[in-house]
Amino acid sequence: METEALQWTTDHTLGYEPMDDIHQEFLDLIVRLQTAADDDLPTLLDLMSAHLTAHFEQEDAWMETTLFPPRNCHIDEHRAVLKSVEEVRALLSQGHTSICRDLVNALADWFPGHVTHLDSALAHWMCKQRLGGKPMVFRPMSRKNPTRIQP
Euclidean distance between CA atoms 117 and 113, whole angstroms: 6
Q: What is the pLDDT along the chain (151 residues), one digit of tens a residue?
A: 444 555 545 566 787 888 989 999 999 999 999 999 999 999 999 999 999 999 999 999 999 999 999 999 999 999 999 999 999 999 999 999 999 999 999 999 999 889 988 998 998 888 887 766 555 555 455 545 444 444 3
Per DSSP, the three-state class of 116 is helix
Q: What letter would DSSP give residue 142?
A: P
- The residue ranges of every structural domain in the chain are 13-131
Give the pLDDT confidence of 108-117 residue by residue, as tens digits: 999 988 998 8
pTM attached to this predicted model: 0.80
**Residue spans of alpha helices (H) in 35-137:** 41-66, 71-92, 97-114, 120-131
Mind listing the pLDDT tens digit for each residue in 123-149? 888 888 776 655 555 545 554 544 444
What is the reported pLDDT for 148? 40
What φ, ψ does residue 134 adopt, rounded to 5°? -70, 155
Residue of 105, 97, 82 whose CA lies nearest to 41: 97
Domain 13-131 has CATH 1.20.120.50: yes
**CA gap 125, 119 in Å, rounded:** 10
Q: Give the pLDDT confidence score for residue 88 in this predicted structure.
A: 98
Spatial separation of the C-alpha atoms in residues 68 and 38, rounded to whole Å: 40
| CA 55 to the chain's CA centroid | 9
pLDDT for 87 equals: 98
